[in-house]
Amino acid sequence: MEKKRNQTGRVLRIERSSMHDGDGLRSVVFLKGCPLSCLWCSTPESQHSGYEIGFRAGQCTGCGRCAAACPAGALRIEDAVPVRDVKQCLLCFACEKTCPNHAWQRYGMDMDADTLVKEIAKDEIFFFHSGGGVTFSGGEPLKQAGFVAEAMRECRARGIHTAMETSLFAGWEQVEAVLPHLDFLFADLKLMDGERHRAATGVDNRLILENIKRIDEAPYPLSIHVRIPVIPGVNDDLENLRRTVEFCDPLRRVEEIELLPYHRLGMETYRNLKLDYRLEGTVSPSPEEMRELEKEMNRVSGRVRVRVGG
Protein backbone atom coordinates (compact mmCIF):
# COMPACT_ATOMS: atom_id res chain seq x y z
CA MET A 1 0.00 0.00 0.00
CA GLU A 2 1.31 3.44 -0.93
CA LYS A 3 2.32 5.48 2.11
CA LYS A 4 1.09 9.08 2.14
CA ARG A 5 1.94 11.74 4.64
CA ASN A 6 -0.69 13.26 6.89
CA GLN A 7 -3.64 11.31 5.56
CA THR A 8 -7.15 12.23 6.66
CA GLY A 9 -9.50 9.79 8.34
CA ARG A 10 -13.01 9.81 9.73
CA VAL A 11 -13.09 9.55 13.52
CA LEU A 12 -16.18 8.89 15.61
CA ARG A 13 -14.76 9.99 18.96
CA ILE A 14 -11.77 9.71 21.29
CA GLU A 15 -12.34 8.26 24.75
CA ARG A 16 -9.70 8.86 27.37
CA SER A 17 -8.60 6.96 30.48
CA SER A 18 -9.99 3.58 29.39
CA MET A 19 -8.86 0.56 31.42
CA HIS A 20 -10.51 -2.16 29.31
CA ASP A 21 -8.79 -1.82 25.94
CA GLY A 22 -5.22 -2.84 26.73
CA ASP A 23 -2.69 -2.39 29.50
CA GLY A 24 -2.69 0.75 31.62
CA LEU A 25 -4.69 3.89 30.99
CA ARG A 26 -5.49 4.24 27.29
CA SER A 27 -6.96 6.68 24.85
CA VAL A 28 -9.32 4.82 22.51
CA VAL A 29 -9.82 6.18 19.00
CA PHE A 30 -13.15 5.02 17.60
CA LEU A 31 -13.33 5.20 13.82
CA LYS A 32 -16.32 5.41 11.47
CA GLY A 33 -17.22 2.59 9.11
CA CYS A 34 -17.51 -1.18 9.49
CA PRO A 35 -18.07 -3.95 6.91
CA LEU A 36 -19.94 -6.04 9.50
CA SER A 37 -23.46 -5.48 10.82
CA CYS A 38 -23.45 -7.58 13.99
CA LEU A 39 -26.85 -8.18 15.53
CA TRP A 40 -25.54 -7.08 18.95
CA CYS A 41 -23.44 -4.08 17.85
CA SER A 42 -23.11 -1.68 20.79
CA THR A 43 -21.89 1.23 18.64
CA PRO A 44 -24.37 1.48 15.75
CA GLU A 45 -23.15 5.01 15.12
CA SER A 46 -19.83 3.54 14.01
CA GLN A 47 -21.17 1.20 11.32
CA HIS A 48 -21.67 3.70 8.50
CA SER A 49 -18.68 5.55 7.06
CA GLY A 50 -20.66 8.75 6.44
CA TYR A 51 -21.63 11.49 8.84
CA GLU A 52 -24.77 10.88 10.90
CA ILE A 53 -26.85 12.85 13.35
CA GLY A 54 -28.78 11.54 16.32
CA PHE A 55 -31.57 13.13 18.35
CA ARG A 56 -31.72 12.78 22.15
CA ALA A 57 -35.39 13.43 22.84
CA GLY A 58 -34.95 13.66 26.60
CA GLN A 59 -32.78 16.77 26.24
CA CYS A 60 -35.11 18.65 23.88
CA THR A 61 -37.29 21.47 25.25
CA GLY A 62 -39.10 22.11 21.96
CA CYS A 63 -37.73 25.64 21.60
CA GLY A 64 -37.65 25.38 17.80
CA ARG A 65 -34.25 27.00 17.33
CA CYS A 66 -32.97 24.02 15.34
CA ALA A 67 -35.82 24.24 12.84
CA ALA A 68 -35.29 27.97 12.43
CA ALA A 69 -31.57 27.45 11.79
CA CYS A 70 -31.94 24.63 9.25
CA PRO A 71 -30.94 26.05 5.81
CA ALA A 72 -32.65 23.20 3.92
CA GLY A 73 -35.97 23.40 5.76
CA ALA A 74 -35.52 19.76 6.75
CA LEU A 75 -36.81 20.30 10.29
CA ARG A 76 -40.31 21.09 11.46
CA ILE A 77 -41.78 21.20 14.95
CA GLU A 78 -44.71 18.91 15.70
CA ASP A 79 -46.17 18.80 19.22
CA ALA A 80 -43.08 20.61 20.54
CA VAL A 81 -40.76 17.98 19.03
CA PRO A 82 -38.48 18.51 15.98
CA VAL A 83 -39.10 16.12 13.08
CA ARG A 84 -36.32 15.70 10.52
CA ASP A 85 -36.87 14.98 6.82
CA VAL A 86 -33.93 12.69 6.10
CA LYS A 87 -34.18 13.22 2.33
CA GLN A 88 -33.93 16.99 2.67
CA CYS A 89 -31.27 17.04 5.39
CA LEU A 90 -27.87 18.31 4.22
CA LEU A 91 -26.04 17.03 7.30
CA CYS A 92 -24.67 20.54 7.78
CA PHE A 93 -25.20 20.18 11.57
CA ALA A 94 -26.67 23.66 11.97
CA CYS A 95 -29.20 22.04 14.34
CA GLU A 96 -26.46 20.65 16.53
CA LYS A 97 -24.61 23.96 16.65
CA THR A 98 -27.79 25.89 17.49
CA CYS A 99 -29.42 23.65 20.10
CA PRO A 100 -28.83 25.09 23.61
CA ASN A 101 -29.52 21.71 25.23
CA HIS A 102 -27.30 19.49 23.03
CA ALA A 103 -30.28 17.40 21.92
CA TRP A 104 -28.72 16.87 18.49
CA GLN A 105 -25.52 14.82 18.36
CA ARG A 106 -23.12 14.63 15.46
CA TYR A 107 -21.44 11.31 14.67
CA GLY A 108 -18.22 11.62 12.67
CA MET A 109 -15.44 14.18 12.20
CA ASP A 110 -12.55 14.30 9.75
CA MET A 111 -9.06 14.57 11.22
CA ASP A 112 -5.63 14.36 9.65
CA ALA A 113 -3.08 12.03 11.20
CA ASP A 114 -0.95 14.83 12.65
CA THR A 115 -3.94 16.37 14.45
CA LEU A 116 -5.04 13.00 15.78
CA VAL A 117 -1.59 12.18 17.13
CA LYS A 118 -1.39 15.56 18.85
CA GLU A 119 -4.70 14.78 20.57
CA ILE A 120 -3.47 11.35 21.63
CA ALA A 121 -0.17 12.78 22.88
CA LYS A 122 -2.00 15.04 25.35
CA ASP A 123 -2.26 11.93 27.55
CA GLU A 124 1.39 10.89 27.27
CA ILE A 125 2.04 11.47 30.97
CA PHE A 126 -0.76 9.02 31.90
CA PHE A 127 0.53 6.45 29.42
CA PHE A 128 4.02 6.71 30.89
CA HIS A 129 2.98 6.27 34.51
CA SER A 130 0.41 3.51 33.91
CA GLY A 131 2.05 1.54 31.10
CA GLY A 132 -0.81 2.49 28.80
CA GLY A 133 -1.10 3.87 25.28
CA VAL A 134 -3.52 4.27 22.40
CA THR A 135 -6.02 1.73 21.08
CA PHE A 136 -7.62 2.07 17.65
CA SER A 137 -11.14 0.70 17.55
CA GLY A 138 -14.27 0.98 15.45
CA GLY A 139 -16.20 0.60 13.47
CA GLU A 140 -13.38 -1.24 11.80
CA PRO A 141 -9.94 0.43 11.86
CA LEU A 142 -8.77 -1.56 8.83
CA LYS A 143 -11.32 0.23 6.64
CA GLN A 144 -9.00 3.23 7.05
CA ALA A 145 -5.75 1.28 7.16
CA GLY A 146 -3.52 3.96 5.61
CA PHE A 147 -4.71 6.63 8.04
CA VAL A 148 -4.44 4.28 11.04
CA ALA A 149 -0.97 3.06 10.01
CA GLU A 150 0.33 6.61 9.72
CA ALA A 151 -1.12 7.62 13.10
CA MET A 152 0.32 4.48 14.70
CA ARG A 153 3.75 5.12 13.19
CA GLU A 154 3.82 8.64 14.61
CA CYS A 155 2.60 7.42 18.01
CA ARG A 156 5.35 4.84 18.23
CA ALA A 157 7.90 7.47 17.23
CA ARG A 158 6.80 9.28 20.41
CA GLY A 159 7.12 6.10 22.47
CA ILE A 160 3.35 5.54 22.73
CA HIS A 161 2.25 1.89 22.88
CA THR A 162 -0.22 1.00 20.10
CA ALA A 163 -3.07 -1.51 20.08
CA MET A 164 -5.97 -2.23 17.73
CA GLU A 165 -9.40 -3.82 18.16
CA THR A 166 -10.52 -5.40 14.89
CA SER A 167 -12.74 -7.98 13.24
CA LEU A 168 -9.90 -8.64 10.75
CA PHE A 169 -12.42 -8.60 7.91
CA ALA A 170 -10.11 -6.84 5.45
CA GLY A 171 -7.75 -7.58 2.61
CA TRP A 172 -4.23 -8.66 3.56
CA GLU A 173 -2.84 -5.43 2.07
CA GLN A 174 -4.79 -3.45 4.67
CA VAL A 175 -3.78 -5.78 7.50
CA GLU A 176 -0.12 -5.69 6.53
CA ALA A 177 -0.14 -1.89 6.39
CA VAL A 178 -0.65 -1.63 10.16
CA LEU A 179 1.35 -4.63 11.43
CA PRO A 180 4.78 -2.92 11.48
CA HIS A 181 3.39 -0.16 13.73
CA LEU A 182 1.31 -2.33 16.06
CA ASP A 183 2.31 -3.58 19.52
CA PHE A 184 -0.82 -5.52 20.48
CA LEU A 185 -3.82 -6.90 18.63
CA PHE A 186 -7.34 -7.60 19.89
CA ALA A 187 -9.09 -9.87 17.38
CA ASP A 188 -12.79 -10.65 17.61
CA LEU A 189 -13.75 -14.25 16.84
CA LYS A 190 -17.52 -14.27 16.88
CA LEU A 191 -18.45 -17.60 15.28
CA MET A 192 -16.49 -20.47 13.73
CA ASP A 193 -19.20 -21.66 11.31
CA GLY A 194 -19.22 -19.56 8.14
CA GLU A 195 -22.97 -19.60 7.52
CA ARG A 196 -23.81 -18.83 11.14
CA HIS A 197 -21.25 -16.02 11.05
CA ARG A 198 -22.90 -14.56 7.95
CA ALA A 199 -26.36 -14.74 9.55
CA ALA A 200 -25.16 -12.93 12.67
CA THR A 201 -22.78 -10.36 11.15
CA GLY A 202 -23.63 -10.07 7.46
CA VAL A 203 -20.31 -11.52 6.24
CA ASP A 204 -18.58 -14.90 5.99
CA ASN A 205 -15.70 -15.60 8.39
CA ARG A 206 -13.23 -17.19 5.94
CA LEU A 207 -11.22 -14.00 5.43
CA ILE A 208 -11.06 -13.40 9.19
CA LEU A 209 -9.68 -16.86 9.93
CA GLU A 210 -7.17 -16.62 7.08
CA ASN A 211 -5.91 -13.26 8.37
CA ILE A 212 -5.42 -14.59 11.91
CA LYS A 213 -3.34 -17.47 10.55
CA ARG A 214 -1.26 -15.14 8.36
CA ILE A 215 -0.63 -12.74 11.25
CA ASP A 216 0.49 -15.69 13.36
CA GLU A 217 3.11 -16.48 10.69
CA ALA A 218 4.10 -12.87 9.98
CA PRO A 219 7.58 -11.66 11.03
CA TYR A 220 6.42 -9.13 13.62
CA PRO A 221 6.82 -9.35 17.44
CA LEU A 222 3.09 -9.14 17.96
CA SER A 223 0.72 -10.75 20.46
CA ILE A 224 -2.86 -11.66 19.51
CA HIS A 225 -5.56 -11.43 22.14
CA VAL A 226 -8.75 -13.16 20.95
CA ARG A 227 -12.07 -11.87 22.21
CA ILE A 228 -15.42 -13.64 21.94
CA PRO A 229 -18.55 -11.57 22.61
CA VAL A 230 -20.82 -14.16 24.22
CA ILE A 231 -24.32 -13.63 22.80
CA PRO A 232 -27.04 -15.91 24.20
CA GLY A 233 -28.72 -17.91 21.46
CA VAL A 234 -26.21 -16.75 18.84
CA ASN A 235 -22.74 -18.10 19.67
CA ASP A 236 -22.79 -19.32 23.28
CA ASP A 237 -23.15 -23.04 22.44
CA LEU A 238 -20.31 -25.29 23.53
CA GLU A 239 -19.67 -26.56 20.00
CA ASN A 240 -18.81 -23.08 18.76
CA LEU A 241 -16.68 -22.26 21.79
CA ARG A 242 -14.77 -25.54 21.62
CA ARG A 243 -14.09 -25.05 17.91
CA THR A 244 -12.73 -21.59 18.72
CA VAL A 245 -10.30 -23.07 21.25
CA GLU A 246 -9.24 -25.74 18.76
CA PHE A 247 -8.55 -23.06 16.16
CA CYS A 248 -6.54 -20.85 18.52
CA ASP A 249 -4.53 -23.48 20.38
CA PRO A 250 -1.95 -24.13 17.62
CA LEU A 251 -1.38 -20.40 16.95
CA ARG A 252 1.85 -19.32 18.63
CA ARG A 253 0.94 -15.63 18.91
CA VAL A 254 -2.44 -16.19 20.57
CA GLU A 255 -1.86 -15.88 24.30
CA GLU A 256 -5.37 -15.69 25.65
CA ILE A 257 -9.06 -15.94 24.78
CA GLU A 258 -11.29 -13.48 26.59
CA LEU A 259 -15.04 -14.08 26.95
CA LEU A 260 -17.04 -10.85 26.96
CA PRO A 261 -20.62 -11.11 28.26
CA TYR A 262 -23.33 -9.60 26.05
CA HIS A 263 -24.59 -6.20 27.18
CA ARG A 264 -27.13 -3.62 25.99
CA LEU A 265 -25.10 -0.44 26.49
CA GLY A 266 -25.79 0.88 22.99
CA MET A 267 -29.58 0.93 23.28
CA GLU A 268 -29.82 4.71 23.70
CA THR A 269 -27.86 5.29 20.49
CA TYR A 270 -30.25 3.02 18.57
CA ARG A 271 -33.10 5.23 19.80
CA ASN A 272 -31.22 8.42 18.93
CA LEU A 273 -30.67 7.19 15.37
CA LYS A 274 -34.19 5.71 15.11
CA LEU A 275 -32.77 2.25 14.39
CA ASP A 276 -34.34 -1.08 15.28
CA TYR A 277 -32.44 -3.22 17.78
CA ARG A 278 -32.58 -6.77 16.49
CA LEU A 279 -31.85 -8.58 19.77
CA GLU A 280 -34.67 -7.07 21.77
CA GLY A 281 -35.41 -9.37 24.68
CA THR A 282 -31.97 -11.00 24.79
CA VAL A 283 -30.70 -11.17 28.37
CA SER A 284 -27.06 -10.89 29.43
CA PRO A 285 -25.52 -14.18 30.62
CA SER A 286 -25.09 -14.44 34.37
CA PRO A 287 -21.63 -14.50 35.99
CA GLU A 288 -22.24 -18.16 36.85
CA GLU A 289 -23.01 -18.99 33.20
CA MET A 290 -19.88 -17.18 32.06
CA ARG A 291 -17.72 -19.07 34.57
CA GLU A 292 -19.14 -22.38 33.34
CA LEU A 293 -18.22 -21.49 29.75
CA GLU A 294 -14.76 -20.45 30.88
CA LYS A 295 -14.32 -23.74 32.76
CA GLU A 296 -15.41 -25.84 29.79
CA MET A 297 -13.16 -24.01 27.34
CA ASN A 298 -10.13 -24.31 29.62
CA ARG A 299 -10.88 -28.01 29.96
CA VAL A 300 -10.48 -28.58 26.20
CA SER A 301 -7.63 -26.10 25.73
CA GLY A 302 -4.13 -27.47 25.47
CA ARG A 303 -2.21 -24.20 25.75
CA VAL A 304 -4.27 -21.02 25.41
CA ARG A 305 -5.78 -19.66 28.61
CA VAL A 306 -9.45 -18.68 28.61
CA ARG A 307 -10.85 -16.12 31.01
CA VAL A 308 -13.98 -14.05 31.49
CA GLY A 309 -13.55 -10.34 30.83
CA GLY A 310 -15.82 -7.41 31.59
pLDDT, one tens digit per residue, over 10-55 is 999 999 988 778 889 999 999 999 999 999 999 999 999 999 999 9
Can the peptide bond before residue 146 be classed as cis, meaning omega within 30 degrees of 0?
no
Question: How does residue 1 score in pLDDT terms, banded at 50, 70 and 90?
Answer: very low
Provide mean pLDDT across the span 112-126.
Answer: 96
Report the CATH number at residue 240: 3.20.20.70
The bridge status of strand 26-31 relative to strand 133-137 is parallel
Counting residues of the chain whose pLDDT is more than 90, the rounded percentage is: 92
Please write the tens of the pLDDT for every residue from 159-201: 999 999 999 999 999 999 999 999 999 999 999 999 999 999 9
pLDDT at 74: 96
Q: What is the pLDDT of residue 265?
A: 86
pLDDT exceeds cutoff 50 at 290:
yes
pLDDT above 70 covers a percentage of the chain that reads 99
Q: Does 205 reside within a domain? A: yes
Same domain as 102, residue 56: yes
Q: 75 lies in a domain?
A: yes
Domain identity same for 153 and 200:
yes
In a shared domain, residues 64 and 184: no
The answer to whether 158 and 53 have CB atoms below 8 angstroms apart is no
Please count the structural domains in the chain: 2
The mean of the pLDDT values for the chain is 95
Nearest to 215 by CA among 172, 255, 256: 172
| Nearest Cα residue to 16 out of 33, 29, 35 | 29
Does residue 56 lie within any of the structural domains? yes
Same-domain check for residues 57 and 144: no
Same domain, 216 and 279: yes
| 42 and 61 within one domain | no
pTM of the model: 0.93
Q: Determine contact, residues 162/154, Cβ cutoff 8 Å.
A: no
Residue 3 resides in a domain: no
Let me know whether 59 and 199 are in one domain: no
Do 165 and 300 lie in one domain? The reply is yes
On the question of pLDDT at 3 being above 90, the answer is no
Same domain, 210 and 299: yes
Give 4's pLDDT tier (boundaries 50, 70, 90). Answer: low
Question: What CA–CA distances, in Å, run from 203 to 70, 291, 295?
Answer: 38, 29, 30
Does residue 268 have a pLDDT over 50? Answer: yes
Q: What is d(CA 224, CA 112) in angstroms, rounded to the nearest whole number? A: 28
Please count the other Cβ atoms lying within 10 Å of the Cβ belonging to residue 125.
Answer: 10
In a domain, 40, yes or no: yes
Residue 1 lies in a domain: no
Domain boundary among 62, 79, 106: 106
Per-residue model confidence as pLDDT tens digits over 87-96: 999 999 999 9
305-309 mean pLDDT: 95
> Is 166 in the same domain as 74?
no
Please classify residue 190 by burial: count the beta carbons closer than 10 Å to its beta carbon, then call 0-12 exposed, 13-18 middle and 19+ buried: buried
Evaluate whether residue 2 is within a structural domain: no
Domain shared by 65 and 165, yes or no: no
Residue range(s) defining the domain that contains residue 73:
52-106
Q: Is the pLDDT of residue 228 over 90?
A: yes
- Whether 146 and 268 share a structural domain: yes
Q: Average pLDDT for residues 201-224, to the nearest whole number?
A: 95
CATH number of the domain bearing residue 77: 3.30.70.20
Rounded to 10 degrees, the C-alpha dihedral 233/239/241/243 comes to -140
User: 10 Å Cβ neighbour count for 163?
Assistant: 23
Which pLDDT does position 2 carry in this prediction? 46
Q: What's the rounded mean pLDDT across residues 59-86?
A: 95
